[in-house]
Amino acid sequence: MDTTNNEEKIFNSRLCEQPLADSDDIQRQIGTPSGRKPQKHQLHQKPYVQDEIQTDHTRRPTTLERPCKCLLCGKSFNATSNLTAHMRTHSSEKPYSCLLCQKSFRRGDQLQKHIRTHTGEKPYKCKLCGNSFSANGNLSAHMRIHSGEKPYSCQKCPKSFSHGSHLKTHMRTHTGEKPYKCQLCQISFTVGSSLTTHMRTHTGEKPYKCDFCEKSFIKSTNLKTHMRTHTGEKPYRCHLCQYAFIEGGQLKAHMRTHTGEKPFICQLCQKSFAERGHLRKHMSTHTGEKPYKCQLCKKSFANHSHLERHMKTHADEIPYSQRLFGCGICDELLEIEKEFLEHCSDHRFCPPDDLAADLC
């Protein structure tokens, strides 16, 4: 008596030796009960009957060959489905639409990723730090933070990047391309986030608020820097003299006192300066501009420090209650000494006794 019908059988695919669960799978690979003759697979020349019911493993190429070629641009693909999706880049067709926000996409997987922006689903989790991501590609890019891998190299300079989009943005520093343009003042930017921040200078929006005082800021980085005036944190330390600073720009400027570097050059007389502000003051010697005016004798000065020095000659003429206190770093004037001292603390320096600019 034949008992083989009651036993579970495992068949091997004649195409690629992958095990198949039952005879129905074999029929999909080598033929059907209808008796149709098997065709030859265009990649590995093994037989199958119907293109539309090939299993996934038969669709994957076994070589680097890409037989599906776009007749418009010459790009090649390993599967007709990829070519079909690619053709939509020429026709602008986007058949996959989001029912929540009406955005459309060329491919179904793009829509699937987009849906996660609505649901908040992040199924791809980093095993090293626990961060989760909505797309596998984002996880792959994140993993390079741990590995230090930077596979995207600039062909014009030695810089390399962990993400292709970062390289694309970087290339604009070489080409000068600034595709993001403000429609109000026509200033252009290399990245969209810079335009978003810039627009707040027109709207007055300052969404980043300090929890310790009433100040608010246009950029999150400005708030982060400001918070250090409350915490006293100075993370940027000079390795030569151990001076510490709140901002990286302050350390960079300080380092020039050690190196002697003066990168800011006057285009009229070629004199150079270590700081941009010093160049700006110098330019007034060429233009004759004197924007700082004494309110007592109407004398004008090219820079604020000269006005401060001049005001000492009027010290006996002004009641203390009418004096304004001028910051020697940012030129801000304040009427109340307490506010002036608090303002100075933002710069983390102690104001000298004679720093008050006596103005009426």
Local mean pLDDT, 10-residue blocks, the chain (360 residues): 44 44 41 41 43 41 71 88 85 86 85 88 90 88 90 93 90 93 91 91 91 89 90 92 88 91 92 87 84 80 79 70 57 57 54 39
- What single letter denotes the amino acid at residue 23? S
Distance CA 235, CA 226 (A): 13
∠ Cα 332 334 337 (to 5°):
130
Q: What is the pLDDT of residue 237?
A: 92
Q: What is the pLDDT of residue 352?
A: 40
Sign for the CA dihedral angle at 32, 34, 40, 46 comes to: positive
Distance CA 163, CA 143 (A): 11
- What single letter denotes the amino acid at residue 112? Q
Question: Which one, of 41, 59, 46, lies nearest residue 12 by Cα?
Answer: 46
Q: Which residues pair with 31 in a beta bridge?
A: none
Q: What is the pLDDT of residue 291?
A: 77
Element housing 154 (H / E): none
Q: What is the pLDDT of residue 345?
A: 57
Q: What is the pLDDT of residue 31?
A: 38
Q: Give the ranges where the chain is alpha helix by DSSP (H).
A: 23-30, 56-59, 80-91, 108-119, 136-147, 164-175, 192-203, 220-231, 248-259, 276-287, 304-311, 337-347
Specify whether the CB–CB gap between 170 and 161 falls below 8 A.
Answer: yes
Sign for the CA dihedral angle at 83, 85, 88, 93 comes to: positive
Q: What is the pLDDT of residue 84?
A: 85
Map out the domains of the chain as residue ranges.
94-177, 208-287, 292-347
How long is the chain? Answer: 360
Which CATH number among 3.30.2010, 3.30.160, 3.30.1450, 3.30.1360 corresponds to the domain 292-347? 3.30.160
In words, the CATH class of domain 94-177 is: alpha beta
Q: What is the pLDDT of residue 47?
A: 45
Instruction: Kindly report the number of other CB atoms within 10 A of residue 321's CB atom.
Output: 6
Instruction: Kindly report the number of other CB atoms within 10 A of residue 29's CB atom.
Output: 26
Q: Please check whether the two domains, 94-177 and 292-347, share a CATH topology.
A: yes
Distance CA 323, CA 357 (A): 7
* Residue 279, token pair as written in the block: 């160049």
Question: Which one, of 185, 189, 150, 188, lies nearest residue 169 by Cα?
Answer: 189
Q: What is the pLDDT of residue 329?
A: 56
**CATH number, span 208-287:** 3.30.160.60
∠ Cα 178 182 187 (to 5°):
60
Distance CA 160, CA 275 (A): 30
DSSP 350: P
Sign for the CA dihedral angle at 145, 148, 151, 154 comes to: positive
Q: What is the pLDDT of residue 91?
A: 84
Which pTM was predicted? Answer: 0.46
Q: What is the pLDDT of residue 309?
A: 82
* Residue 171, token pair as written in the block: 């290339």
